[in-house]
Amino acid sequence: MVAWATSKGVPLYGGVYDNSPPGIYWLYRLLLLLGADRYHLVVQVAATLAVVAAALLTFEITRQLAPPWPAALAAGLTGFALSVPTLDGDLLNVELAALPLFLAALRLACTGRVTWAFLAGALLGLAVATRPSFAFDGLALLVPLGLDRRLVATAAGGVTALAAVLGALWIEGSLVAFFQVVLPADRAYLLWANGGTMAPVFLRVGTLAIVAGLGLQAARTPAGRLLAIWLPASLAGASLAPRELTHYAHEAIPPLAAGLALLAGRLRWNFSYGQLPAFYGNWLAYVSGARSWKAYSEWFPGVAGRRPLEAAVLRTQWQTTDSRLLILGDQPWLYVDSGFLPATPYPATNSAFWRSSGAADATRQALRNSCADLVVYTDGPGDWRPDLDSGGYQAVDGAPWPTFRANERGPAC
């Protein structure tokens, strides 16, 4: 309604009042020119474009710090969360309008160019003119910018944009009302939302500043340094006026999504999502006859290539038909590859092994009595070295996994 009234010549703030910054009204003035007063679809499309832009920019920012699949996950989480109706994702509020501007500024700050740094500052200024709390988020730009001339260019861009905003308010006759009416009202609103005192604001911002400092001190990667500042800063901005208005959360969604995606990217997966097409392509090539079993199995990272080499080493170490093998770890297929039967009832020391009463003691006893002719120590858990030493096992050189050979089988076996 405020944008509609100003489009009819009523001065903003002086003739029609609301306490939102001018950027959101100018955006809606543009939408009115596109027919938003007749077609609500115009506003819906604008909100959708803002969400899509925020998701794509989150991808681009995260892509500077991580492989494509965590970046895609961050973008997907951002797009989903910004679209949830219970978070007011169906409304084009100041947070959603300012978010693409800030994210574009952060992405441009990562380019390393002075010209783009100036534009980054200008976009940050426009974001602040739409949602002032993004001034807190702007602290994140310090991480990619560093203390060089790009920081000066960014500051110049921000000052230029804010000067242009004030100039536009002056031209339309709203500047005096902005300072005399809006700013005092914003301060009163901030006090009211925090129970009549600024103490909660100082406490939250101070606590988040300490968290940011500790995070920055502990960070060892560019991603860690960026999130150490960006996430606390966005939470500070989003919580300035802690009310029940859920769209305030939009400001903190991209750093939260990026943090979760980067955390997922640090997990050790057998396959990343980006490898799934190649995984099924490898299988299709094998079943269609275009790829041999050897080529198919060697496609898998690490383990598949080591198993045949390990089996070949084992067969050279012990030739008798009743040879017994013990795998310490979770590679039971080595029994099949080598042709050796297990020396104990437990072909793998996996999680089920450790839940079985007496399994660990029986395995230790078998090692101490040299009941296994050959032992392959593929992984943990458990430290079997003292038992291997007690059984007199000798290391086998040249094996892919730590491999041990008994001098002779013990009489107690």
Do 334 and 223 have their domain in common?
no
Domain end among 213, 238, 266: 266
Do 12 and 125 have their domain in common?
yes
- Which residue has better confidence, 47 or 412? 47
Do 178 and 45 have their domain in common?
yes
Do 183 and 112 have their domain in common?
yes
- Cut 0.85: pTM above it: no
Strands of the sheet with 374-377, listed across from one edge: 341-342, 324-328, 374-377, 403-405, 394-395
Task: Please say whether the beta carbons of 363 and 386 come within 8 A.
Answer: no
Do 259 and 323 have their domain in common?
no
Do 101 and 229 have their domain in common?
yes
Report the domain count for the chain.
2
pLDDT of 158-198, one tens digit each?
A: 999 999 999 999 998 889 988 988 888 888 888 888 888 99
Q: Where are the beta strands (DSSP E) in 2-127?
A: none
Model confidence band, residue 78 (pLDDT cutoffs 50, 70, 90): very high
Residue 13 covered by a domain: yes
For all residues of the chain together, what is the average pLDDT? 85
- Which residue has better confidence, 286 or 402? 402
Do 332 and 187 have their domain in common?
no
pLDDT of 296-316, one tens digit each?
A: 766 665 555 677 777 788 888
Residue 272 covered by a domain: no
Q: Residue 318 has what DSSP assignment?
A: -
Residue 293 covered by a domain: no
Full residue range of the structural domain in which residue 39 is found:
2-266
Q: Residue 181 has what DSSP assignment?
A: I
Residue 386 covered by a domain: yes
Do 57 and 192 have their domain in common?
yes
Do 259 and 206 have their domain in common?
yes
The Cα-based distances of 13 to 32, 81, 182, 193, 197 in angstroms read: 19, 33, 7, 22, 26
Task: Please say whether the beta carbons of 404 and 393 come within 8 A.
Answer: yes
Do 307 and 260 have their domain in common?
no
Burial group, residue 200, by CB count within 10 angstroms (0-12, 13-18, 19+):
middle
Residue 297 covered by a domain: no
The Cα-based distances of 104 to 66, 99, 100, 129, 253 in angstroms read: 18, 8, 6, 15, 15
